[in-house]
Structure 1
Amino acid sequence: MLKLIKEDIEVAIEKDPAARNFLEVILLYPGVHALIGYRITHFLWGLNLKFLARFISFFIRWLTGIEIHPAAIIGKRFFIDHGMGVVIGETSEVGDNVFIYHGVTLGGLSSKNGKRHPTIGDNVVIGAGAQVLGPTRVGSFTKIGSGSVVLQHVPEYSTVIGVPGRIVFSGATTQDVADGEEAFPDPVAKDIESMLERLPQMEKEIRELKKKI
């Protein structure tokens, strides 16, 4: 557990250029506070001290604005940037080297027992306000765009945007994911680029129409 906590702190320093040192991250980063709390409560949950785990988890949510169920399974080097409003449900499974922003929900769509929350692969980036709902699987090396709502399985090396989420790009590399959000194509920028490419042809057609008038 201590090794996992140490790695969570180290990855915060690596991922956030605003993080100046180890002490600052420990004292001032709510995402790190929530993860330390989760590591402790998950350990207690495994010892069947479930009420104590839930009680501590409740306090951590009050302190940080981040809710992580003690039964959720989260891999190493997990980073929550900003953090406020993050919810990770009971049967969620999160791989290694996952990076999420504020307002993300890994939620359920059913009140039935059993698997009802998402499974997130390794090296995934989930943008601010994104909702990944139900027992869906998000493949490794995938980017979920800000504000997206994901209800279906997503293959590896994909970029998903929209409501409901749709795949707009596939073929990301390990380095793309390591570089973060800026390494992925901006769909709005791509649309603008396409319009600019068509502009000369449109101007030509307008000139021809004017000649005919």
Structure 2
Amino acid sequence: MLKKFKTDIKKYKTYSGKSTIVLCFTQQGLWALLVYRISHAVFISNAPKFLKKLLLLFCVLGQKWIEIITGISIPYTARIGERFYIGHFGGIIINGNAIIGDNCNISQGVTIGVSGVLENRGTPIIGDNVYIGANAVIAGNISIGNSAVIGANSLVTKNVEARTTVLGVPAVVVSNNSSEHYI
């Protein structure tokens, strides 16, 4: 848990050039990530069932408090890789079944959620090095390939190939540019 959080802080430091202390006091995304990392560690732990349930109760309370003060909702059941970066404050909703790879960036207003019916119902699997622009919605049983770029205000309900940029409602491929210059 601490290893992953340290990689999150390192990424924030790379972008801002600020000290760890300043970042921990000023970056709401880091607050949400810390509570998520602790809660997820409890969730995947081998602690005795009673103790685990008790700890998860406190984790849920902490997550709700963070959600209220930051507008960022990251359930402890979501799976998020290392070096995760939340670019701006607020309006971020991640479904508890979402899977997000390593070294991803998301901006304000992003929703990663459930959609679809019957066998098509599900949540996204997002690869490594993915950049998700402001107010984008990624929903359904889909996959987002490594190094993809999801443009601002896009609605993504179909698979996105690796190293492509999508934009629009519904999102369509607009270029073969990767996320290399965004992350």
TM-score normalised to structure 2 length: 0.88
Q: Which residue, out of 137, 140, 151, partners 1:134?
A: 140
Q: What is the aligned partner in structure 2 of residue 5 from structure 1?
A: 5
Letter in 2 for 1:180: Y
CA deviation after TM superposition for structure 1 residue 62, in Å: 1.4
Q: Which residue, out of 41, 44, 55, partners 1:43?
A: 41
1:163 corresponds to 2:169? yes
CA deviation after TM superposition for structure 1 residue 52, in Å: 3.3
**Which is bigger in relative contact order (C-alpha 8 A, separation at least 6)?**
2
Alpha-carbon separation, structure 1, partners of 2:121 and 2:42: 21
Alpha-carbon separation, structure 1, partners of 2:69 and 2:117: 27
Q: Is the 8 A contact 1:8 1:79 kept in 2?
A: yes
Q: Which residue, out of 53, 60, 73, partners 2:59?
A: 53
Matched residue of 2:152: which SS? coil
Alpha-carbon separation, structure 1, partners of 2:172 and 2:22: 38
Alpha-carbon separation, structure 1, partners of 2:174 and 2:180: 19
Count, aligned residues = 175
CA deviation after TM superposition for structure 1 residue 56, in Å: 2.0
1:29 corresponds to 2:33? no
Q: Moved runs in structure 1, 4+ residues, more than 6 A?
A: none
Between 1:1-10 and 1:55-64, the stretch displaced more is 55-64
1:143 corresponds to 2:149? yes
Q: Is the 8 A contact 1:91 1:115 kept in 2?
A: no
Alpha-carbon separation, structure 2, partners of 1:99 and 1:155: 17
Alpha-carbon separation, structure 2, partners of 1:167 and 1:140: 15
Letter in 2 for 1:80: I
CA deviation after TM superposition for structure 1 residue 179, in Å: 2.2
Larger radius of gyration: 1
For structure 1, the residue ranges without an aligned partner over 5 or more in a row are: 182-213
For structure 2, the residue ranges without an aligned partner over 5 or more in a row are: 46-51
Cα RMSD for the two superposed structures: 2.1
Alpha-carbon separation, structure 1, partners of 2:175 and 2:116: 30
Question: Which is richer in helix?
Answer: 1
| Sequence identity (%) | 33
CA offsets 1:189-213 (integer angstroms, 9 cap, x no match): xxxxxxxxxxxxxxxxxxxxxxxxx
Alpha-carbon separation, structure 1, partners of 2:182 and 2:125: 20
